[in-house]
Chains A and B, each alone.
Chain A
Amino acid sequence: QAQLVQSGAEVKRPGASVRVSCKASGYTFTSYYIHWVRQAPGQGLEWVGWINPKSGGVNYAQKFHGRVTVTRDTSINTVYMDLTSLTSDDTAIYHCARGTGTTEFDAWGQGTLVTVSS
């Protein structure tokens, strides 16, 4: 069945950048979108953006425009999320999820904790 495996936890200084990866297996990589969703400590879910692995097309939440970039490498079925100019407000667990377009997130990664601290 579909499985998404994310990279490990990261600790970054304010102003730095972070890259989180999400490796897909068990399905045709180009047939489903990959979304990024984050969750700050004790808070709710916040959608960050998606990529269509087939076309490379992307869409980001307005609040992240200019700071987030999502890319994919179809040769290794992996999606990357890069987030720049980190602040303490970016401390969160970042999840990748498989979607049928913009709905039906039926498989989720295990989450990657990104901690931003001086």
Chain B
Amino acid sequence: DIVMTQSPLSLTVTPGEPASISCRASQSLLHRNGYTYLDWYLQKPGQSPQLLIYLGSDRASGAPDRFRGSGSGTDFTLQISRVEAEDVGVYYCMQGLQSNTFGQGTKLEI
């Protein structure tokens, strides 16, 4: 199984400041079709998860443009350019190359 490791596991950010979350896969997530099967999700308190980024760097419909996904192979980053109060929650990376597995989650607090 592909193991996904996130860091940090918790993060406290001042509104208006940037934030960054890392995700490392135990093997490359590059498919032979050229796509990289790495998504980012945010689970706000008391809600179901919501999609932010898919295929490594494609922003989901409705996701604010302050969210940016980057990386390749085994190392990926989710960046928030200016954190807002509504960004509080737990962020997960997920690989979809071999079945699916999630990272442990990163809790973002203001």
Contact = CB atoms under 8 A, between A and B. Distances in A.
Interface of A: 35, 37, 44-47, 50, 59, 61-62, 95, 97, 99-106, 108-111
A101 B39 CA distance: 13
A12 to B, nearest CB: 22
B19 interface: no
A44 B102 contact: yes
A95 B55 contact: no
A110 B102 contact: no
A4 to B, nearest CB: 9
Interface of B: 1, 37, 39, 41, 43, 48-51, 54-55, 60-61, 90, 92, 94, 96-97, 99-105
A45 B101 CA distance: 9
A95 B49 contact: yes
Contact of A35 (B37, B60, B100): B100
Given A44-B102, A45-B102, A104 B54 contact: yes
B32 to A, nearest CB: 14
14 contacts: A44-B105, A45-B49, A45-B102, A100-B54, A103-B37, A103-B54, A103-B55, A103-B96, A104-B51, A104-B55, A105-B51, A106-B54, A108-B48, A110-B48
Contacts of B60: 104, 106
Contacts of A109: 48
B50 A102 contact: no
Nearest to A102: B96
Nearest to B96: A102
A47 B37 contact: no
Contact of B99 (A45, A47, A95, A110): A47
B105 A45 contact: yes
B1 A108 contact: no
Nearest to B102: A45
Contacts of A106: 51, 54, 60-61
